C-alpha cells in the first residue's frame, strides 16, 4: 500500500505497567496509544483540521494494519501518526509489492494548539519502535516538497519544515525518486549489524 494523504523538545519517559506518559516542558501529559477502530472518527476530525483530505474508510483501512498511533492530552486526541507495512527495495529506493520489510509513516497530524510541544517526535519514535518490534528493516516516508538541486540535507537545515528537520535530527537519509524525496532510516537488527561492521572496519584500519 503506497497511498498517502498530503496536505527541539525535551521529554522524560516514565516506565511502569500503566500507560506511558511523556512530560513536556509545559507540564502537559501526552499519552501514546495504539489506534483501533474506536478511534477512527476522532482521527478523521483531527486530520481534517490539519488539512488532510481523508475519509473514515481510508483511515479505518490503515488503522486495521495495527501499526498506527495517537497522542492524547487529558484523553483528547491531539495527534495522529498513521503507518502501514511496506516493502522497500533498498537499491532502487522504490516501494514495491511483496513481503514487508519497512513501515511507511504518514505525515503526523497535530492540532495547532499542540504545535511545538514535541508531539511529532513522540509519534515518530513510537512508530520506529513499532517497526523494530515487527522486525522491519526500515522506517520510511515521502517528502513531497519541491527540493532544489544540491544536497538535500543542506536544504533541510536551511529551510526545511519542522517534520523534515525532525527526520534529519533523527538520522534519516534522503533520496530523490520519481515520487518525491524518500526519507528512510535503518532500524532494528539491520542497523545494529551495520554499526558493528563499521566498528570492525575502523578497528582494522587502526591496526
* Contact present, 62 and 82 (Cβ < 8 Å): yes
Least confident of 42-51, 52-61, 183-192: 183-192
- Nine-digit cell string for 188: 532494528
Distance CA 3, CA 49 (A): 20
* Contact present, 79 and 92 (Cβ < 8 Å): no
User: In the predicted model, is pLDDT for residue 24 greater than 50?
Assistant: no
Spell out the domain ranges in the chain.
12-206
What pLDDT digit, counting tens, does each position of 94-152 carry? Answer: 999 999 999 999 999 999 999 988 999 999 999 999 999 999 999 999 987 677 788 99
Q: Which fold has domain 12-206?
A: Aminopeptidase (3.40.630)
Could you tell me the pTM of the whole model? Answer: 0.79
Higher pLDDT, 176 or 66: 66
CA distances from 106 to 6, 19, 161 (A): 8, 24, 15
Going across the sheet that includes 21-23, the strands are: 12-13, 21-23, 29-34, 69-73, 76-81, 109-110
Amino acid at each position: 500500500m503506497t497511498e498517502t494523504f498530503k496536505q527541539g523538545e525535551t521529554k522524560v519517559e516514565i516506565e511502569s505497567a500503566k500507560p506511558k506518559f511523556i512530560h513536556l516542558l509545559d507540564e502537559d501529559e501526552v499519552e501514546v496509544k495504539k489506534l483501533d477502530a474506536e478511534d477512527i472518527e476522532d482521527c478523521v476530525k483531527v486530520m481534517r483540521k490539519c488539512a488532510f483530505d481523508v475519509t473514515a474508510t481510508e483511515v479505518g483501512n490503515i488503522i486495521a494494519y495495527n501499526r498506527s498511533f495517537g497522542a492524547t492530552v487529558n484523553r483528547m486526541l491531539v495527534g495522529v501518526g498513521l503507518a502501514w507495512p511496506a516493502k522497500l527495495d533498498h537499491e532502487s529506493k522504490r516501494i514495491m509489492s511483496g513481503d514487508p520489510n519497512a513501515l511507511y509513516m504518514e505525515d503526523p497530524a497535530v492540532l495547532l494548539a499542540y504545535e511545538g510541544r514535541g508531539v511529532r517526535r513522540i509519534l515518530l519514535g513510537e512508530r520506529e519502535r513499532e517497526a523494530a518490534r515487527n522486525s522491519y528493516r526500515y522506517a520510511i516516508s515521502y517528502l513531497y516538497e519541491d527540493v532544489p538541486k544540491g544536497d538535500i540535507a543542506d536544504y533541510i537545515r536551511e529551510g526545511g519544515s519542522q517534520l523534515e528537520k525532525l527526520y534529519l535530527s533523527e538520522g534519516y537519509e534522503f533520496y530523490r525518486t520519481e515520487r518525491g524525496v524518500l526519507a528512510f532510516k535503518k532500524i532494528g537488527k539491520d542497523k545494529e549489524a551495520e554499526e558493528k561492521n563499521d566498528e570492525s572496519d575502523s578497528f582494522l584500519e587502526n591496526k
